[in-house]
């Protein structure tokens, strides 16, 4: 039941995003329609293309994608297409997702 509510909420959020923000750059300074798409094959393709263009996806901090909740990221990490790279010093560590050689 909770999964269906979450999926319905994601679909509504994506439709609202398209309605009000269509093709404009907002919030993050870049157009990332995959961020508001429902989970599935199409979203995974957008994620991979976003990373192939040399962009970064930072994860696991406040207001960022969470790898434990995002099923598309989980699937791509498990397949070995993506890997998590930790960078920075001990006090300001960032985690980001990048393509492996298998995913390129």
In the prediction, which pLDDT does 29 show? 41
In the prediction, which pLDDT does 70 show? 92
Q: Does CATH place domain 39-104 in 3.30.565.10?
A: no
Per-residue pLDDT of the chain (104 residues; tens, 9 = 90+): 566 677 777 777 777 766 765 544 444 445 667 777 889 998 999 899 889 988 888 898 888 888 999 999 999 999 999 999 998 877 778 889 999 986 55
DSSP class per residue in 11-68: HHHHHHHHHHHTT--BTTTB--GGGGSPSSHHHHHHHHHHHHTT--EEESSTTSB-TT
In the prediction, which pLDDT does 21 show? 59
Give residue limits of the domains in the chain. Answer: 1-38, 39-104
| Rounded Cα gap, residues 30 and 26, in angstroms | 6
């Amino acid at each position: 039941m909770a999964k269906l509510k979450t999926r319905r909420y994601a679909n509504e959020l994506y439709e609202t995003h398209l309605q009000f923000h269509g093709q404009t750059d907002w919030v993050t300074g870049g157009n990332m329609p995959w961020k508001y798409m429902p989970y599935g094959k199409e979203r995974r393709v957008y994620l991979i293309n976003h990373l192939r263009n040399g962009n970064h996806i930072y994860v696991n901090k406040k207001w960022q994608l969470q790898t434990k909740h995002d099923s598309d990221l989980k699937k791509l990490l498990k397949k070995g297409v993506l890997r998590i790279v930790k960078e920075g010093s001990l006090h300001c560590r960032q985690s980001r997702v990048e393509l492996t050689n298998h995913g390129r």
